[in-house]
Amino acid sequence: METTRESLLLMQERFRRFEQNLPCVIYEYVSDDTGIGQFVYFTPQWYELTEVTAEAGIADVNVAIGLVHPDDRAAFMEKNAHAAQTMTVLRIKIRIVTASGIIKWIALTSSPMSRNQDGLITWNGVMIDVTAEKLVEESLYEAKERFARMAETLPHGLYEYVIHADGRSEYLYLSKRAEEIYEYSFSELNENMSLFWDMVHADDLARLRSTDVAANRSGNLFVSEFRIKTRSGKLKWVQLSALPDRNPRSFPVVWHGVLVDITQEKQAEQARLQQQINQELAQARLLRIQQVEQLNAELAQSIEEKNQLLRSLSLFAKSSMASNLVSTLAHEVNQPLGAIAINAQQLQSVLKGHANDLHIEDAQYLLGRIRSDNQRAADVISRLRALFVLGSEPLEKFDLNELITETTEAIGFEHLRQNISVILELDVSNPILSGERGQIQMIIFNALNNAIDSIRNHGGTRAIHIRTLHQGESVVMEVEDTGPGFPDHILQNGFQLFQTTKPHGMGVGLWLSRAIADNHKATMRASNLPSGGAQLVFAFPV
Ligand code: ADP
């Protein structure tokens, strides 16, 4: 008996310790079929939970019911009644307000254990403080809500995609934005996974598949840009990036992904690219234009250089011609100068040695000759100067006869010296030419010089004939001599420059005469007379 009592006490003690260490409230409740009744027992945690004593709770059921949060009370009462009516377990989460006003969440489980002969039901119940869990749950819910709101307002699509061990895959989540981009709903895609791959542009398909395979193998970030053709037929550029939540070799693997519609960026990029290409093209064109301009400039320069060369050549020709003229005419200058010297010498010797013999007339004569020779030399020099600026003399009308007379007189000393008679047969009507007088005089000079040269060492008659006559619309001037005549090759070759048979000749005179004749629209003809002498005939238009 003693041992039974002792063991009972021991059990009671054990139960008390167990009871005190429970993380929940255990209670016993007795009710009728409507669920209304009375608490008969609370474990000590009741006070800790409610801040109401077990005695107070047991004394008045309304004290306990009064702890239930007003918002949850009706639901609690209803479920409680239902459990009593049906004799089923009551499971409910409700809020209570403690004596000090703290709101706590409790999870209440009440099981109908037995019914006595009065029809009253005994309930064994457990109350667990789930405030902390509830808070977590709430904040989780809030976070989920926040995530959902964010996901819907994000311009990017979000998704969760799972791959199972057997290779099956499905979306766990697909945000509205992702559905908008694909133009397929979450359920449509999950029902038919090939819808996704069918959307992908043929040119991007292989690349996307290999990226996909590589990412699944490595578990690294998956990123790919590709084109899709949506249900409505729109072509979109999208960017998919996703990360798995764990090693992809242990299934299931969940990929968390972001889907971005980058069509506008791509279009902008393409426009930029096009613009860049256009710019490059424009630059290339500009370069081409610059090259052409450069070529043009080079061409212009080479033309200019050529022109310059031509100009210098012509200048050279002119100057060489002029210098040849100088040589050709040098003796014309030297002759009067030589005459001056001789006359001056004579005058000197007359003055020195034969002072007594000096006649004032002789002296005056010599002085007159010196003066006229001097004048002759000066004239030649000034004509020479005029020839340097060939073509610059003004056109004028002049008497050809007068010019011939003047010119023969100018070199009179020379032909007198050579014992050559100059015979002038000039047209009585005094033919008037219009042109450059100095140039025509040059022709006459040259003809006379050549005639004198040809006669100089030639035997027989020593004469020069100069004739002028009107012939139709022309004024003709003929110069004939009694020399050996033109050499055959001179006649055959015409009046080429630098053709000369003289040891110190220049071969310019005939050529220049011809050029002057051309200038005056005159013709020039050379031939040999039957008698053997040379004949030069010029026909000037009137
Ligand atoms: P150059 O004064 O050097 O002789 P020209 O052009 O005046 O140059 O004459 C060319 C050549 O024509 C002369 O070298 C000469 O052979 C020939 N010639 C010119 N005039 C006569 C002429 N009146 N009689 C013979 N030959 C002449």
Residue 532 CB–ligand 1 contact under 6 Å = no
Which CATH number covers residue 407? 3.30.565.10
Q: Are 485 and 533 in contact (CB under 8 A)?
A: yes
- Which tens digits make up the pLDDT trace of 484-540? 999 999 999 888 766 789 887 767 788 878 878 887 889 999 999 999 999 999 999
Percent of the chain with pLDDT over 90: 46
Position 139: which residue type?
A: S
Specify the pLDDT at position 309.
40
Instruction: State the sign of the Cα–Cα–Cα–Cα dihedral 194, 196, 202, 204.
Output: negative
Shared domain check, 241 and 255: yes
> How many domains are there within the chain?
4
Single-letter amino acid code for the residue at 245: D
Regarding the beta carbon of 407 and ligand 1, being less than 6 Å apart is answered no
C-alpha distances (whole Å) from 24 to each of 14, 303, 385, 516 are 17, 113, 142, 143
The answer to whether the beta carbons of residues 453 and 414 sit under 8 Å apart is: no
DSSP lists the bridge partners of residue 374 as none
Query: What's residue 376's pLDDT?
Result: 64
Would you give the DSSP letter of residue 332? Answer: H
Question: Do 399 and 472 share a domain, yes or no?
Answer: yes
Q: Are residues 253 and 299 in the same domain?
A: no
- Supply the pLDDT for residue 8: 85
Ligand 1 geometric centre to CA of 157 (Å) = 109
The two tokens of residue 293 are 């301009």
pLDDT at 218 over 60: yes
Query: What average pLDDT does range 210-217 have in this prediction?
Result: 89
Instruction: Say how many Å lie between the CA of residue 535 and the centre of ligand 1.
Output: 11
Low-confidence winner among 55-69, 97-111, 157-171 (lowest mean pLDDT): 157-171
* pLDDT at position 139: 84
Contact 376, 449 (CB under 8 A): no
Kindly state whether residue 2 falls inside one of the protein's structural domains.
Answer: no
Report the CATH number that the domain containing residue 363 is assigned in CATH.
1.20.120
Q: Tell me the pairing of strands 523-528 and 534-541.
A: antiparallel
Q: Is the pLDDT of residue 1 over 60?
A: no
pLDDT at 151 over 70: yes
Length of the chain: 542
State what percent of residues in the chain have pLDDT above 70: 79
Q: Whose CA is nearest to atom 20 of ligand 1?
A: 450
pLDDT bin (cut points 50, 70, 90) of residue 2 is low
**What average pLDDT does the chain have?**
83
pLDDT at 332: 56
Q: Which of 64, 69, 70, 36 is closest to 51 using CA atoms?
A: 64
Copy the structure tokens of residue 16.
Answer: 């008390």
What digits encode the pLDDT tens for the residues 260-298?
999 999 999 889 988 988 888 778 777 766 665 665 566
Tens of pLDDT, residue by residue over 297-352, are: 665 554 455 444 434 433 434 444 555 555 555 555 556 566 666 666 666 665 55
pLDDT of 182: 94
The answer on 427 and 494 residing in a single domain is yes
Q: Transcribe 397-416 into DSSP letters.
A: EEEHHHHHHHHHHHTHHHHH
* Domain assignment present for 120: yes
Cα 501 to ligand 1 centroid, rounded to whole Å = 7
Mark which of 224, 244, 261 sits at the end of a domain: 261
Q: Secondary structure of 346-395 in the HEC alphabet?
A: HHHHHHHHCHHHCCHHHHHHHHHHHHHHHHHHHHHHHHHHHHHCCCCCCC
Is the same domain home to 457 and 408?
yes
Host domain of residue 535? 395-542
